[in-house]
Chain A
Amino acid sequence: MAKRIKPRGILPGFGLTMGYTLVYLCLIVFIPLSLLFLKAASLSPGQWWEIISNPRVLAAFRLSFAAALLAGVINTVFGLLVGWVLTRYSFPGKRLVDGLVDLPFALPTAVAGIVLTAVYAPGGWIGRYLEALGVQVAFAPIGVVVALTFIGIPFVVRTVQPVLLDLEKQVEEVSATLGANRWQTFRRVIFPQLLPALITGFALAFARGLGEYGSVVFISGNMPMSTEIVPLLIMTKLEQYDYAGATAIAAVMLIASFLMLLVINFLQWRSNKLHRLG
Chain B
Amino acid sequence: MSIQVFNISKSFAKNAILHDLTLEIPTGELVALLGPSGSGKTTLLRLIAGLEAADAGRIVLDGQDVTGLGVRERQIGFVFQHYALFRHMNVYNNIAFGLQVRPRRQRLGKREIGQRVEELLSLVQLEGLAERYPAQLSGGQRQRVALARALAIQPKFLLLDEPFGALDAKVRQELRRWLRQLHHNLEITSLFVTHDQEEALEVADRIVIVNEGRIEQIGTPREVYHSPANSFVYRFLGRANRFDEPLGGAGLIDPAEPGVSYIRPHELEVSRQRIGVNCLQATVQHVYAVGPIVRLDLKKTGTDLFFEVELTDERYRELQVQTNETVYVRPREAKGFPAEKALVSAGSHISG
Interface residues of A (CB under 8 A from B): 168, 170-171, 173-181, 184, 188-189, 192-193, 274-278
Contacts and interface: CB of A to CB of B under 8 A. Distances in A.
B101 A171 contact: no
Contacts of B134: 278
A179 B102 contact: yes
Counting from the closest, the 4 A-B pairs by CB-CB distance are A278-B135, A275-B88, A178-B98, A170-B84
Nearest to A169: B84
Contact of A170 (B82, B98, B133): B82
A276 B76 CA distance: 29
B149 interface: yes
B306 interface: no
Interface residues of B, number: 27
14 contacts: A174-B78, A174-B146, A176-B51, A178-B97, A178-B150, A178-B152, A179-B72, A179-B153, A180-B101, A181-B72, A181-B101, A276-B87, A277-B87, A278-B87
Given A175-B86, A178-B150, A278-B87, 19 more contacts: A170-B82, A171-B85, A173-B51, A174-B86, A176-B70, A177-B77, A177-B78, A178-B98, A178-B153, A179-B98, A179-B102, A180-B98, A188-B86, A188-B101, A189-B86, A275-B87, A275-B88, A276-B87, A277-B88
B49 interface: yes
Interface in B17-47: none
Contacts, number: 74
| Interface core residue of B51, B86, B88, B153 (most chain A CB under 10 Å) | B88
B97 A180 contact: yes
B71 interface: yes
Contacts of A278: 87, 133-135
A188 B71 CA distance: 18
Contacts of A180: 72, 97-98, 101
A276 B86 CA distance: 11
Contact of A175 (B88, B97, B133): B97
Given A173-B78, A174-B80, A188-B97, A276 B153 contact: no
A215 B135 CA distance: 46
Interface in B179-206: none
Q: Is the interface of A mostly helix, strand, loop or mixed?
A: helix
Interface of B: 49, 51, 70-72, 76-78, 80, 82, 84-88, 97-98, 101-102, 133-135, 146, 149-150, 152-153
Contacts of A176: 51, 70-72
A276 B135 contact: yes
A192 B77 CA distance: 24
B91 to A, nearest CB: 12
A132 to B, nearest CB: 45
B133 A276 contact: yes
B319 to A, nearest CB: 51
A274 B78 contact: no
A174 B87 CA distance: 13
A19 to B, nearest CB: 35
Nearest to A182: B72
Nearest to B101: A180
Nearest to B146: A174
Give the one of A168, A178, A274 with max B CB within 10 A: A178
Contacts of A175: 86, 97, 101
A171 B98 CA distance: 13
A170 B71 CA distance: 13
Contact of B88 (A179, A184, A192): A192
A192 B133 CA distance: 14
Contact of A178 (B70, B80, B149): B149
A184 B41 CA distance: 30
Given A178-B98, A180-B97, A171 B72 contact: no
B71 A276 contact: no
A192 B88 CA distance: 7
B150 to A, nearest CB: 7
Contact of B84 (A173, A188, A277): A173
Nearest to A196: B88
Contacts of B101: 175, 178-181, 184, 188
B130 to A, nearest CB: 15
Contacts of A181: 72, 101
B6 to A, nearest CB: 22
Contacts of A188: 86, 97, 101
B149 A274 contact: no
Contacts of A168: 82, 84
Contacts of A184: 101
Contact of B71 (A171, A173, A277): A173
A167 to B, nearest CB: 11
Given A174-B78, A174-B80, A176-B72, A274 B88 contact: yes
B97 A177 contact: no
